[in-house]
Amino acid sequence: MITVILFFILFSLLIWKWRFIKKLPFGFAVRYLLFLIKIVAGVAFFYIYTYYYSNDRRLKSDLWKYYEDAAAIYDMAKQGNTALFIKVMAGKEDEEVSHIMHDRTEFWYKRFNYGLYNENRTIIRFITLAMFITDKNIYALSLLAAFLSYLGWVAFFLFFYRYLGDRYKVVLLVALFLIPSVVFWTSALLKEMLVVFSLGFGLYFFDEKKYLWSGLFFILLSFTKIYIALPVFPALIAYLLAKKYGVAKSYVFVYLAAIVLVLGLHFACSKFDLFLKLSQKQHDFILMAEANGAGSTIELPKLNNGLMNFIKMFPEAVFNSFFRPFVFDYTSIIMLPNIFENVLLLLFVLLVFVRFKKEEDKKQLNIALFALVYAFTVFLIIGYTVPVLGALVRYRAPLLPFFVIGLSVFCGCNYKFKSLIKSS
């Protein structure tokens, strides 16, 4: 408990004094309240997935899956098996490592990888290293996760704020810090927390032209969730080209080139065939949902690496990833918050169509298109591959604010908000 108290005091002081956080255009009270909201969300997540799903918790919550595997690795170092610990952390795979990790962990290995890096290992390694300053205290680890997520959202805010300014600061505040599903899923000891942290600072340092730091964070993002990392690069290329050339033509050119590249790899090189990887991932996810008896499973058309299958499923993939669970998906009271949130999201999209206006400011148009095309690409990948409603909500959480921010620019939502929050 002492560790938790010390962490809380340290993080509170950083929010009060750290120049990076003080760049937010809000006073200390607002900055601190946003952090407290993250803590409350993290606590809620911990108790729901520890006590509400108390039976066989390892199968019900990734929080405990990752924690217990990390604890097994951490114990190697504490018990004096330093050489083995270093090999595991460095990614050296030999017979000794394989035997011990199969024996002591359950989620270090995946049944299906399809030639891709096992992303479970990134969060497990992170938790393992964090245990050296928390001594395996799950409460201290959860508090650390909430703070790192908070820092990631601060970085996102500053990235967008540079171009959108005070006119959109309340939109940014709501989108980045107050959307319930986003707060809930990104404040816990999960991959989504690392995604927010690494992507937020990757974009922040990229815009600051600190490319070494940006690259390091993007590498961390790639090892955390590759399907979120890859789409950021065409979006950033279009974003950079739009600064010198026309905004619309830059995005059209880059994404047409990306489509040609993806189609070329599909027909010429199975090793890098995106359609094949997505088909395999969908198949894997369906099998996993069936094996675990997921209660919110939806039926998806099988992709089977067929180009026409992807084209036919496109509308369903879009609707699933953006707006489900919807009213017709109701099965239990725990789904109500997500259903209500998705109804509001759909109404917001309709509002944009009704009140659409072309943004004349080139910088704001550029940042809005960047946010929209990036979010849309990630959401499309999720919609094609994920057959579980709870997972849909979770996986889209890090990019949902991008969608809301981009749409806000195109409906002029900034004019409806007064600057009621006092700046520091």
- What is the average per-residue pLDDT within 134-144? 92
**pLDDT above 90: residue 389:** no
State the number of CA atoms in the 13 A half-sphere of 317 facing the CB. Answer: 22
Peptide bond into 180 cis (omega under 30): no
Average pLDDT, the chain: 87
- Provide the pLDDT for residue 416: 44
Q: Tell me the pLDDT band of 277, cut-offs 50, 70 and 90.
A: confident
Phi, psi of 190, deg, nearest 5: -130, 170
- Provide the pLDDT for residue 418: 44
- What is the average per-residue pLDDT within 220-239? 94
- Please write the tens of the pLDDT for every residue from 349-367: 888 888 777 666 788 889 9
Least confident of 245-259, 269-283, 362-376: 269-283
Q: What is the pTM of this model?
A: 0.91
Phi, psi of 297, deg, nearest 5: -75, 140
Three-state secondary structure along 145-204?
Answer: HHHHHHHHHHHHHHHHHHHHCHHHHHHHHHHHHCCHHHHHHHCCCCHHHHHHHHHHHHHH
- What is the average per-residue pLDDT within 123-150? 94
Nearest C-alpha neighbor of 419 from the set 25, 20, 10: 25
- Provide the pLDDT for residue 413: 60
Over pLDDT 90: what percentage of the chain? 51
Three-state secondary structure along 224-285?
Answer: HCHHHHCCHHHHHHHHHHHHHCCHHHHHHHHHHHHHHHHHHHHHHCHHHCHHHHHHHHHHHH
- Provide the pLDDT for residue 53: 61
**pLDDT above 60: residue 424:** no
Residue keyed to tokens 């979120």: 228
- What is the average per-residue pLDDT within 144-159? 97
For the chain, the structural domain boundaries read 1-226, 230-424
- Please write the tens of the pLDDT for every residue from 51-96: 766 555 445 578 888 999 999 999 998 888 888 888 888 888 888 8
Looking at per-residue pLDDT, the higher value among 413 and 274 belongs to 274
- Provide the pLDDT for residue 396: 93
Looking at per-residue pLDDT, the higher value among 185 and 101 belongs to 185
Structure tokens at 110: 């995946």
Least confident of 3-7, 47-51, 252-256: 47-51
